Structure 1
Amino acid sequence: MAAAAAAEIRMATVFGEARPENGDHDADDLPRRPVLFHANAHFQGPLRVVATDLRSLAWHCSLDLDHLQDLQDDVGIGGSCSDFLDYLYSSFSSAQVKLLFPAAQGADTAELVATKAKGLPRITISLHPVATSALKDVIADFSLALYASYKTKQEHASRVASPSKVPPAKATKRVAHVSRRARVRGALLQDADENDDGSS
C-alpha cells in the first residue's frame, strides 16, 4: 500500500535560490552565503526538499502522500494530488522563494516559503537541520544533482540548436577538355610517325 501511494508522487526536479529572512532573530544569525534549494520526487519515494549554503548549513524534509495531502488542505487548493504537485513546482520555480527562521520554533528550524504569483496561496514547508555527521554527504548529493540537471539541460539545448545533418552532394567526375593546341600537336606527332614509317 505504501509503495502504491509513493508511486503517485511525481514532480520534476527544480532548483532555485531561497532568500534568507529572519523572524525575531538578529540579522547576524542569518546565513551569510546564498542558500540554494532542491525539490524532487522519485517514482518510488517521497517528495524531498533540501536547502543549503553548500558549505556548513543544510536543512531538509521528506513529504509522503499523507503529508502532501495535509499540506494541500492547509494551503487550501482543491484538485488531485497531481494538480497540487504542479502548483508546488510552479511555486518553487518562481522568484518568490524565501527561507524563514520563525522565532517561535527555535533558531535551528527553517521554513521554505514559496508563492507562485502575488495574490495566490502561499506554500510553507517546515525544514529540519541536517545532522553534522550527514552534512557532507547531503551537500555532495546536492552538488551532484545540480550538475546532473545542468548537464541534462545543456544536452537538450545542444540537440535543439544543432541543425539537421544534410548528406553531402554526390561528387561527379568532370571530363577534362583537351585543348586545341594539344589536339593539333597530337595530330602533328601522329603525321610525323606515319612519315617515318613510310620512309623506312
Structure 2
Amino acid sequence: MEIGDFAAIFGEPKVEWINRASLTSHPFLFHVHTPNPSHLRFCVTDFHSNTWESTKSTLQLHDMRDEIGIGGAMSEFVDYIITSLKFGDVRLRLEEQSVDDGAACAKLCAQKSKGMPVFSLSLTKLFDCAASEAIATLSLGLFNSLKAKECSLLKEQERSLQLTTMISTEKEKYESIQSQLGQYTKKQKLQNMNASNSPDKSIGHHYIGLTKTTNRAVPAHRRAKTRGALLQDSEDDNEQEHSLRSTSEDKVDK
C-alpha cells in the first residue's frame, strides 16, 4: 500500500511542558514528508539541541487509524492527518526528565477541530549526525517549498497582468464603439432635420395640394347641364335612326 502524492507540510506547533510550570525555550518547527511512497516521516526541531523524529509505514498508520477510531479508507485517514496538521490545533508536548537533561519524551498532537479525534504521535529524540541530517532535510524541504510557492505567485501575477491588459484593451474597444455610435446617431439626426427642411419636400406638399384641388367635385348645377346635353344627343341619334328605317321601308314597298 502506497501513500501516493504527498506535498511536504511545515508548521510551528504550540509547545506544552508537562511537569514543569514554565520554561523558556526556542520555537519549534515540524516537518512531515514521505521519504518513500510507503512511509510517512514526522520531524520536530528547535534547530539547537532538541530534534525529534518518527517514521511510520502504511501498516503502522493503518493500526493508528484503528486506535484513534477513524473509519474509512487509508487515503481518508491520511487526508485527516494532513488537514489537522495544516489547519488544526497542533501541539508539541514535552515531558521533563531533569533540569540538566531537558525533555525526556515528546509527543506531536493534532486535532482537526474541537470535538474531532486527536492524532497523537510519540517521537524519538535524535542526536549528532542523525539530528543534523534531519535539520538539513527540513531546511532544504522548506526552501524548495518556498521556492515553489514563489514560482506559483509569479505565475499568478503574470496571469493577473495579462488579464488586466486584456480588460484594458476591451475597455478601449468599447469606448471606441460608443464614440462611433454617438457620432453615427448625431449624423442621423442631422440628416433627418435637413430632410424635413428641404425644398423638395415643400414642393411635394404643394403638388399634393394641387392634386387635391384638381380632383375637387364639380358643382351640382354644372353636373345637371352636362347630363342634359348627353341626354339630348342621345335623342337626336334615336330620331336619325328612326328616319333611316322609315326610308328603307318605303323603298321596299315600292
TM-score when normalising by structure 2: 0.57
Same amino acid, percent of matched pairs: 31
Q: Which amino acid aligns with 1:84?
A: F
Pair 1:18-2:13 in alignment: yes
Q: Which residue number corresponds to residue 99 of structure 1?
A: 92
Q: Which residue number corresponds to residue 164 of structure 1?
A: 162
Q: Which residue number corresponds to residue 120 of structure 2?
A: 124
Residues 38, 58 of structure 2: 8 Å contact kept: no
Runs of 4+ in structure 1 displaced over 4 angstroms? Answer: none
- For 1:98, what is the secondary structure of its paired residue? strand
TM-score when normalising by structure 1: 0.72
Q: Which amino acid aligns with 1:146?
A: L
Q: Which residue number corresponds to residue 78 of structure 1?
A: 71
Pairwise CA distance, 1:155? 0.5
Pairwise CA distance, 1:10? 4.3
Q: Which residue number corresponds to residue 153 of structure 1?
A: 149
Pair 1:35-2:33 in alignment: no
Structure 1 residues 69-78 or 127-136, which shifts more? 127-136
Pairwise CA distance, 1:95? 4.8
Residues 114, 124 of structure 1: 8 Å contact kept: yes
Pairwise CA distance, 1:92? 0.3
Pairwise CA distance, 1:57? 1.4
Residues 115, 123 of structure 1: 8 Å contact kept: yes
Q: Which residue number corresponds to residue 194 of structure 1?
A: none
Which deviations, in whole Å up to 9, do the C-alpha atoms of 1:23-61 show, x marking residues without a partner?
Answer: 223533xx6111000112255341000000122211001
Greater length-normalized contact order (CA 8 Å, ≥ 6 residues apart): 1
- Structure 2 residue ranges without an equivalent (≥5): 166-254
- For 2:12, what is the secondary structure of its paired residue? strand
Structure 1 residues 59-68 or 136-145, which shifts more? 136-145
User: How many equivalent residue pairs?
Assistant: 160
Q: Which amino acid aligns with 1:70?
A: D
Q: Which residue number corresponds to residue 171 of structure 2?
A: none
> Quick check: which has more Rg, 1 or 2?
2
Query: Out of 80, 88, 111, which is 1:115 matched to?
Result: 111
Higher fraction of helix: 2
